[in-house]
């Protein structure tokens, strides 16, 4: 008797959360991609996804599904198509780990796609952006601290908004942050970031909300000091980028993460250290910065390329 795919999928999602320590959001994303595959396969078999059996998920079925993904309108990017395949490959790895016969995960190759380009700010643009919040109002102090910490630590915006007051040691200038996959790493504060954060903490001393960064109600209201959201931080960064006169670039929180990594590498940091600071699981992810961060390459090319023919 065959095994229902629906039962295996549910067990896989629970495995991701419980044994692999992935967040509910990650499990939700994997579920989204797998549901799309199994709904497509069920429609081809003229039955419901709940009736599908594992032996129907053959290599040929997967090949046909990849063709279907590639021919969607509007066109799905190669990266988006690969997200679907990554979810399926993780599912197949789970089955292999449990000894359940299925398509071997190593037979599933991701599509090749152009090298990802990263957007970053140069030193002058960073200086103007960090100086954009003017004045000493609580809102300006908060916004200055947000920008300084994003650039100092390279935190993802989701990591920033999840921080609580008691998690950050301003005096020590470092703190632990839980990133993707529940992995913990150390984040470091520059002197400027420490000063900006200390000023913000002083300004918010009467706020009982545990979140490090909170909304600030308009007027004199002392209520609704709720946790700042990722979308709010994104709007904050975009607003100050406009104030700083940064044109021709879409500036968002992740650009500050890119800019921080670029700054480290340009000033001589090694790739493995940057990988650890950013919390990348693979050095391959960090390598995306190298093609824009070595100021010596042009000079090396000029001095040594074809020198014997000059």
CA dihedral sign of residues 195, 197, 203, 205: negative
Tell me the C-alpha distance between 257 and 275, whole Å. Answer: 12
Question: How distant, in Å, are the alpha carbons of 116, 117, 152 from that of 293?
Answer: 15, 12, 18
Separation of alpha carbons 37 and 25, rounded Å: 19
Active site annotation includes 258: no
- Four-CA torsion 280, 285, 291, 294, nearest 10 degrees: 20
Among residues 84, 89, 156, 204, the one annotated as catalytic is 156
C-alpha distances in Å from residue 239, one per residue of 129, 196, 199:
10, 19, 21
Residue 19, Cα to own-chain centre: how many angstroms? 22
Closest CA to 145 of 165, 116, 172: 165
Task: Pick the catalytic residue from 33, 94, 240, 289.
Answer: 289
Q: How many CB atoms lie within 10 A of CB 16?
A: 21
CA distance readout (Å), 155 to 148, 158, 161, 201: 11, 8, 10, 19
Q: Which of 84, 144, 257, 258 is catalytic?
A: 257
b/e map of 263-279 (b: 16 or more CB within 10 Å)? bbbbeeeebeebbebbb
Write down the catalytic residue from 178, 252, 254, 266. 254
Catalytic residue among 22, 142, 204, 280: 280
Angle, CA 262 vertex, CA 259 and CA 266 arms, to 5°: 140
- Alpha-carbon span 57 to 42, nearest angstrom: 10
Is 257 a known active-site residue?
Answer: yes
Q: Kindly name the residue from 45, 180, 192, 227 that is annotated as catalytic.
A: 180
Closest among 20, 60, 26 to 44, alpha carbons compared: 60
Q: Is 254 designated active site?
A: yes
The residues that are catalytic are 156, 180, 254, 257, 280, 289
């Amino acid at each position: 008797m065959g095994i229902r795919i629906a039962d295996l999928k549910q067990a896989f999602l629970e495995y991701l959360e419980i044994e692999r320590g992935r967040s509910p959001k990650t499990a939700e994303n994997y579920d989204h991609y797998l549901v799309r595959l199994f709904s497509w396969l069920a429609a081809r078999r003229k039955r419901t996804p709940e009736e599908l059996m594992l032996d129907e998920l053959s290599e040929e079925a997967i090949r046909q599904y990849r063709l279907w993904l590639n021919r969607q309108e509007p066109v799905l990017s190669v990266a988006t198509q690969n997200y679907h395949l990554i979810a399926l490959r993780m599912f197949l790895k789970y089955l292999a780990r449990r000894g359940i016969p299925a398509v071997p995960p190593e037979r599933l190759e991701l599509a090749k796609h152009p090298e990802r380009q990263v957007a970053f700010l140069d030193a002058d643009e960073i200086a103007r952006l960090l100086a954009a919040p003017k004045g000493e109002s609580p809102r300006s102090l908060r916004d200055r601290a947000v920008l300084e910490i994003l650039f100092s630590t390279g935190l993802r915006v989701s990591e920033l908004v999840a921080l609580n007051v008691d998690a950050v040691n301003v005096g020590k200038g470092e703190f632990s942050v839980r990133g993707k996959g529940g992995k913990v790493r150390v984040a470091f504060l520059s002197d400027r970031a420490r000063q900006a954060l200390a000023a913000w903490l002083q300004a918010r001393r009467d706020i009982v909300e545990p979140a490090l960064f909170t909304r600030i109600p308009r007027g004199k209201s002392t209520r609704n000091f709720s946790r700042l959201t990722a979308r709010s931080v994104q709007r904050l960064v975009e607003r100050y980028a406009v104030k700083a006169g940064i044109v021709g670039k879409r500036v968002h929180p992740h650009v500050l993460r890119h800019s921080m990594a670029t700054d480290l590498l340009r000033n001589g940091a090694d790739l493995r250290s940057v990988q650890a600071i950013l919390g990348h699981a693979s050095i391959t992810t960090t390598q995306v910065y190298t093609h824009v961060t070595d100021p010596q390459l042009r000079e090396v090319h000029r001095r040594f390329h074809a020198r014997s023919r000059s």
